[in-house]
């Protein structure tokens, strides 16, 4: 039942309080604009509640358990017991702390917060439907709008998230007990991170992937290091298979996977599971906004195309974060949120993705930024690369984590750094140094002649840069 319909107005309306939306709202308020942020669920969006933060909490918890149980080489003997419910409560505490922090930051910045589901009425007005029977709705006029409604997990036919056996990543971050057998459909970064968590916690994990490689968006020599380590943790991979159907049998789910069209094998496989995690990607949340009433266009995938200033096809309506397409990463959404707010305030802001880093928190981690060697060549740039293996790093040896390497890509002609791929310990942190170097237009020599603390993992970056110039000290050039 709709109770009353009062219309108010705001300079800047932001829809969705994930890392795209709340950052846009705070920046717009800092720029003295009158800002209203509408959120239908929890502050912090997918990132804080169902994504980056809860997954990293479980990744760290499971790493601690696994390392404590496997440290005999270092003379440490332990047999840890994992109470998953307690680990989940600890994770929920972190989420609560961060989400209430977001609300406080928005309020302190002067952002007007509204709870409810927003839907366009026309190109300058939205209707906000409040939750719960009889809670009513209201309308809000806006001069500018920033759409930041994020994304949701993609479902596949026959695997319905409504069934208790079938979970998306949302469900897999809240299991009550560690599943004995977990089948994961999809070897992208979410599937691989959760395969790492549950294999470390003791599940028998199987992964089904249509393609012939885990982490297919990464280079083979990077992804294969992570796959081999996952196999050593006990993960069983089935490449070239599509999850087709499943049925309940003797108190278990039995999943049937069929070979994909160009797979080398030709017979079906059956896998038993307590839980089946479907992690085949995410789709933008644009179908519930009545975008057509505002005249905002989407592409066939539901993504809202934007220009470098985050504008949609409507001059005064912006889209940031996952709704604006790949890469669906929290920091990409936040950067776009800042840019959209600054453009609305009349500042000369624009997005520039040449130094956009990405990380996968598997074991070992992956960190990438900028161009690979092939991408550089495709853009007509002759690449010059340098590498350094963690096997030769004193710090990696003392951490007992020697898998992986740092690879730096530069333009041969200028020696300007244009990309890097790191696979190994702390790759998610190490990549930040190279992102900063790319942002500043640094050359190989700038990295190579920067004195790095010894003994640290970051020395591998210095050595890789020197290797590209034939001058590494701790490896043959
Ligand atoms: C398991 C997992 C792990 C991840 N790990 C990482 C990681 O390590 N690093 C990383 O960078 N990214 C990671 N991501 C991706 C990251 O979470 C997203 O890229 C990021 O949350 C996108 O931010 P956003 O602001 O665009 O949208 P979201 O965070 O999805 O927020 C959108 C918000 O809009 C609200 N909303 C939607 N429709 C409406 C409406 N009509 N009215 C009002 N409110 C609405 C939603 O309730 C939600 O709160 C991970 C994602 C998952 C699922």
Reading the block at residue 422, the tokens are 């790191």
C-alpha torsion 215→219→223→228, nearest 10: 140
Q: Whose CA is nearest to atom 33 of ligand 1?
A: 16
Spacing, Cα 88 to ligand 1 middle (Å): 20
Q: Whose CA is nearest to atom 1 of ligand 1?
A: 51
454 noted as active-site residue: yes
Spacing, Cα 266 to ligand 1 middle (Å): 38
CA-to-CA separations, 54 to 46, 59, 194, 217, 321, in angstroms, rounded: 10, 9, 11, 23, 19
DSSP state of 322: G
Q: Tell me, what's the pLDDT at 455?
A: 98
% helix / strand / coil in the chain, to the nearest 5?
35, 25, 40
Q: Tell me, what's the pLDDT at 3?
A: 47
Reading the block at residue 390, the tokens are 């963690």
Ligand 1, CB cutoff 6 Å, lining residues? 15-21, 38-41, 45-47, 50-52, 55, 117-118, 148-151, 169, 190, 285, 288-289, 321-322, 328-331, 333, 361
Q: Tell me, what's the pLDDT at 263?
A: 82
267-277: b or e for each residue (b if 16 or more CB lie within 10 Å)? eeeebbbbbbb
* Residue 41 contacts residue 51 (beta carbons within 8 Å): no
Q: How far apart are CA 339 and CA 321, in angstroms?
A: 11
Q: Whose CA is nearest to atom 47 of ligand 1?
A: 41
Q: Tell me, what's the pLDDT at 133?
A: 64
Spacing, Cα 353 to ligand 1 middle (Å): 19
Tally Cβ neighbours within 10 Å of residue 435. Answer: 20
Spacing, Cα 149 to ligand 1 middle (Å): 8
Q: Whose CA is nearest to atom 27 of ligand 1?
A: 150
Catalytic residue among 238, 331, 452, 454: 454
- Residue 147: Cβ-neighbour burial (10 angstroms; 0-12, 13-18, 19+): buried
Q: Whose CA is nearest to atom 8 of ligand 1?
A: 52
Phi, psi of 416, rounded to the nearest 5 degrees: -75, 140
Spacing, Cα 150 to ligand 1 middle (Å): 5
Q: Whose CA is nearest to atom 20 of ligand 1?
A: 330
Q: How far apart are CA 469 and CA 385, in angstroms?
A: 9
- Residue 224: Cβ-neighbour burial (10 angstroms; 0-12, 13-18, 19+): middle
CA-to-CA separations, 139 to 5, 9, 32, 171, 286, in angstroms, rounded: 6, 8, 23, 34, 19
| DSSP conformation letters of 392-437 | G-HHHHHTT----EEEEEEETTT-BEEEEEEEETTHHHHHHHHHHH
Reading the block at residue 116, the tokens are 């409810």
Tally Cβ neighbours within 10 Å of residue 33. Answer: 19
DSSP state of 221: H
Residues 6+ positions from 204 with CB-CB distance below 8 Å: 180, 181, 182, 234, 236
Q: Which atom of ligand 1 is nearest to the CA of 173?
A: 1
Q: Whose CA is nearest to atom 24 of ligand 1?
A: 150
Q: Tell me, what's the pLDDT at 5?
A: 57
Best residue among 19, 20, 22, 46 to mutate for probing ligand 1, ranked by most atoms within 8 Å of CB: 46
Best residue among 150, 172, 290, 367 to mutate for probing ligand 1, ranked by most atoms within 8 Å of CB: 150
Best residue among 149, 167, 338, 428 to mutate for probing ligand 1, ranked by most atoms within 8 Å of CB: 149
Mean pLDDT by 10 residues, the chain (477 residues): 64 98 98 98 97 97 94 93 96 97 97 97 95 81 98 97 96 96 98 98 97 96 98 97 96 96 90 98 97 98 98 98 97 98 98 96 98 98 98 96 97 98 98 97 97 98 98 95
120-137: b or e for each residue (b if 16 or more CB lie within 10 Å)? bbeebbbbbebeeeeeeb
Spacing, Cα 304 to ligand 1 middle (Å): 15
Q: Which atom of ligand 1 is nearest to the CA of 194?
A: 1
Spacing, Cα 270 to ligand 1 middle (Å): 33
Reading the block at residue 435, the tokens are 């992102």
* Residue 435 contacts residue 329 (beta carbons within 8 Å): no
Q: What is the pTM of this model?
A: 0.96
Q: Which atom of ligand 1 is nearest to the CA of 20?
A: 25
Q: Is the peptide bond before 455 cis (omega within 30 degrees of 0)?
A: yes
């Amino acid at each position: 039942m709709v109770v009353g319909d009062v219309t108010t107005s705001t300079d800047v309306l932001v829809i969705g309080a994930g890392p795209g939306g709340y950052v846009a709202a705070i920046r717009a308020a800092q720029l003295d604009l009158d800002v209203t942020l509408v959120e239908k669920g929890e502050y912090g969006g997918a990132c804080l509640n169902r994504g980056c933060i809860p997954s990293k909490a479980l990744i760290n918890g499971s790493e601690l358990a696994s390392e404590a149980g496997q440290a005999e080489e270092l003379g440490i003997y332990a047999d840890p017991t994992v109470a998953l419910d307690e680990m989940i409560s600890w994770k929920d505490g972190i989420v609560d702390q961060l989400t209430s922090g977001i609300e406080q930051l928005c309020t302190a910045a002067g952002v007007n917060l509204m709870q409810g589901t927003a839907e366009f009425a026309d190109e300058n007005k939205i209707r906000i439907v409040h939750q719960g029977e009889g809670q009513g709705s209201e309308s809000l006029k806006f001069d500018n709008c920033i759409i930041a409604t994020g994304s949701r997990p993609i479902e596949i036919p026959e695997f319905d998230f409504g069934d208790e056996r079938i979970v998306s990543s949302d469900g897999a971050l809240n299991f009550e007990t560690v599943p004995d057998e977990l089948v994961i459909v999809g070897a992208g970064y979410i599937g691989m991170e959760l395969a790492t968590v549950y294999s470390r916690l003791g599940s028998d994990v199987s992964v089904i992937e249509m393609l012939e490689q885990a982490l297919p968006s990464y280079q083979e020599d990077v992804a294969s290091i992570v796959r081999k380590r996952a196999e050593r943790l006990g993960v069983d991979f089935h490449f070239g298979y599509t999850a087709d159907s499943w049925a309940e049998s003797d108190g278990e789910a039995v999943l049937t996977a069929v070979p994909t069209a160009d797979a080398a094998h030709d017979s079906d496989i059956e896998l038993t599971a307590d839980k089946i995690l479907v992690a085949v990607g995410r789709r933008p949340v644009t179908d519930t906004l009545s975008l057509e009433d505002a005249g905002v266009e989407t592409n066939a995938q539901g993504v809202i195309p934007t220009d470098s200033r985050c504008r949609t096809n409507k001059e005064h309506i912006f889209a940031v974060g996952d709704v604006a397409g790949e890469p669906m990463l929290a920091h990409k959404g936040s950067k776009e949120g800042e840019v959209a707010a600054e453009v609305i305030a009349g500042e000369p802001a624009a997005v520039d993705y040449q130094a956009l880093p990405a990380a996968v928190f598997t074991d070992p981690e992956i960190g990438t930024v900028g161009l690979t060697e092939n991408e550089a060549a495709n853009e007509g740039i002759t690449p010059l690369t340098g590498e350094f293996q963690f096997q030769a790093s004193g710090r990696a040896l003392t951490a007992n984590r020697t898998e992986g390497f740092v690879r730096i890509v530069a333009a041969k002609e200028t020696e300007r750094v244009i990309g890097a791929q790191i696979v190994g310990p702390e790759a998610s942190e190490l990549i930040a140094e190279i992102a900063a170097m790319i942002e500043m237009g640094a050359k190989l020599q700038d990295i190579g002649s920067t004195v790095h603390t010894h003994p640290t993992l970051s020395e591998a970056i210095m050595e890789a840069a020197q290797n590209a110039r034939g001058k590494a000290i701790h490896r043959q050039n």
